[in-house]
Chain A
Amino acid sequence: MNRRRFVETIVSLGIAGTVVSFLSLLMSLLPTAGAGPEEGEVDNVLRYGPEKGAWYSDKSGTEVRFEDFDQVGKGAGVLWRRKIPAIVIRVDESKLRGATATSGLIAFASTCTHLCCISTWHLDRPSEDVIFCRCHDGVFDPYDVVKDVTANGAEYLGAKVIAGPPPRAAPLIPIEIKDGKVAGVADNLEIYAYCG
């Protein structure tokens, strides 16, 4: 190797090294935990959601009470653990397949498994007993609870997709009733994190 070739090699390597090390700075674009406020204590009690024009609209943000669901077919959009949107429905237990209701109530995560819009109950299609997503017309049947698998391979129970593009069932949220308040049971939160 003559001197000229040596200098050329060194300079080329130097330039390549500089480019690569600057590209590595793009790592800074990846998500960070952030310096936001700490998440406060969260309880498992469901709270009414912010939907307007529904029977529970004036209760928005308050705790979901069992006695509010006084007839079959009544349902509400709620929020669980301050961040998981869900739907609670009073169902006709004799028609329910694949799961058992808790004192007639059943709950499903309402974040659509398609593109993460929030599904509704009886607001868009009042005459049909389905969980409906406004974005791309996904329809879930709360009376038909089936086994499904998340993208990460975790098995779960959920309301079956009966129409539209959602790829997976809407995950069931096990509930319990404590002092008249409806609360979710947080055993495996992973299965509700598909839109996180």
Chain B
Amino acid sequence: MTRFLSTRAKKIYEWIEKRYHISPLIEEAQRSINFALPSTLTRQNKSRLFWLGYPYYYAGAITAFLAILQGVTGLLLAFHYVPSAVGDPGTPTEAYLSIQTIMKAVPLGALIRGIHQWGANLLIAALAIHAFWAYFRSPYRLGREMSWFLGVVLLGLALAYSFSGYLLPWDQLGFWAATISVQIMRAIPLVGDFIAQILLGGTTLSPTALTRMYFYHVCLLPVIAVILVGTHLVLVVLQGVSEPEEAWKPQTDRDAQIVRQEGPLFGPFFPHQIMPVLIISLVTLGAVLLLGAYAVQPPGEPANKFLTPQFIAPEWYFLWAYGLLKWVGWVYDLVHFVPPATVLGVDLVSAKVVGILLATAIFLVLLLLPLVDRGKEVRTLRRPLKTAVGVWAIGLLSTLTLYALNEILSAQLSIPIGTINLTLGSVVITVPLILAVPVYVILRLHASKTTDGTARLRS
């Protein structure tokens, strides 16, 4: 351990060691960190195609880096923000004014807020890529179920973060996005109102709700996040980065020869693997700085509970859910389905409850995926159904996002709303299938062609 240290650093280390005996811990950590990453995967993919997939390996690292950046900028913003929403509807509250102060008076305030804003957006984007990458490559089939469970919970946590943060400026868009979310939450059968009251201190957005949201955003969620992200990362250190098992074993004599001649291409995590992480983090930092400096979005009009702004839409990563709500309503109209008022006091089939049930179902399916999807095959191209479902999901999320913009598109393109709804509504149904079915068919054929031969897994 001490061989890299200078004399002075060695003395400090010895001072600590004498008192706390940390050397076994450090050695264990070193052993874990030096876990060599597989190199055969890169060699098997000499083609340029591999490099298209390469950045996805680092989506998790980018997410972690952005999370730290969010912590730092959030800490600085917390020095100036005032979580008070007392005031007449439509007039600037203290919360709103403190954001104005940050933007206009605080030295570098606009930049810090810009970084925080864009950091949040990029974090969600990186997280989405990280999640889909994990979905397609099924690492939970190689003993990483806990990482997957934690990951799904962290995905929910990131959305809770952005939801609470979006409300803090107490401007029109944040207020109405939160109002809609709270009303959706209230529609949860039987317990909805109770949950809203516990979380927000009421069933509508009041100054109390802002105080609580601020508490969640800067106190409760960070504590949970640090614990869960910490565990998620410790698991990576303990288990190493996931690769298909076959990547470890040269399948052909030629591969074995390459391994003998060239040695590991990637090498151990530290220092070889940390280098790309640092490089990609710096690139991300550059992007966030540029976006934060030149594209920071000032708060909109002060919140007014008596006036819903025109072309209201949530942030881009919630658009699919917003589109889903609209789309379910459109389908109901199309088939002239009128939900009965209540079944045992619950609007079970109203569009919003259907939306909640679908969202819960998505979350549960994601969470429980490792329990359902068992087996040893982890290669994306050998799993036709799962890969096709993933492609379908990406298609569905994209088209629902598009559907959410129906009003805006109708106004911009001067197309009647009925035509837009019919077009986009059909797109939501067909395009994901048009994408997924060929993927399934092609992979199915591919899989049946290569069922025997050297490439087959032991299973």
What is A's interface to B at a CB cutoff of 8 Å?
26, 29-32, 34, 36, 49-51, 79, 85, 114-120, 123-125, 133-138, 148-149, 151, 163-165, 167-168, 195-196
Contact = CB atoms under 8 A, between A and B. Distances in A.
B208 A34 contact: yes
A117 B326 contact: no
Nearest to B345: A151
Given A125-B417, A135-B176, 4 more contacts: A134-B310, A137-B407, A149-B341, A195-B203
Contact of B307 (A26, A116, A118, A165): A118
17 contacts: A31-B201, A34-B208, A51-B307, A115-B183, A117-B176, A124-B407, A134-B309, A136-B326, A137-B406, A151-B342, A164-B333, A165-B325, A165-B326, A165-B329, A165-B351, A167-B350, A167-B352
Given A167-B350, A168-B341, A135 B180 contact: yes
A124 B417 CA distance: 11
A49 B306 contact: yes
B317 to A, nearest CB: 18
B51 interface: no
B266 interface: no
Nearest to B194: A30
B204 A196 contact: yes
A80 B304 CA distance: 15
A50 B306 contact: yes
Contacts of B311: 134
Nearest to A149: B341
A26 B310 contact: no
Contacts of B333: 163-164
Nearest to A137: B326
Contacts of B329: 136-138, 164-165
B180 A115 contact: yes
Instruction: Give 5 closest A-B pairs by Cβ, nearest first.
Output: A165-B329, A165-B351, A115-B183, A117-B308, A118-B308
Nearest to A117: B308
A30 B333 CA distance: 38
Contact of B332 (A34, A36, A135, A165): A165
A158 B171 CA distance: 31
Contact of A118 (B306, B328, B407): B306
Contact of A31 (B183, B208, B308, B325): B208
A164 B334 CA distance: 10
Nearest to B196: A31
Nearest to B355: A165
B306 A195 contact: no
B180 A165 contact: no
Nearest to B212: A29
B306 A79 contact: yes
A50 B308 contact: no
B307 A50 contact: yes
Interface string B379-415: 0000000000000000000000000001100000000
A125 to B, nearest CB: 8
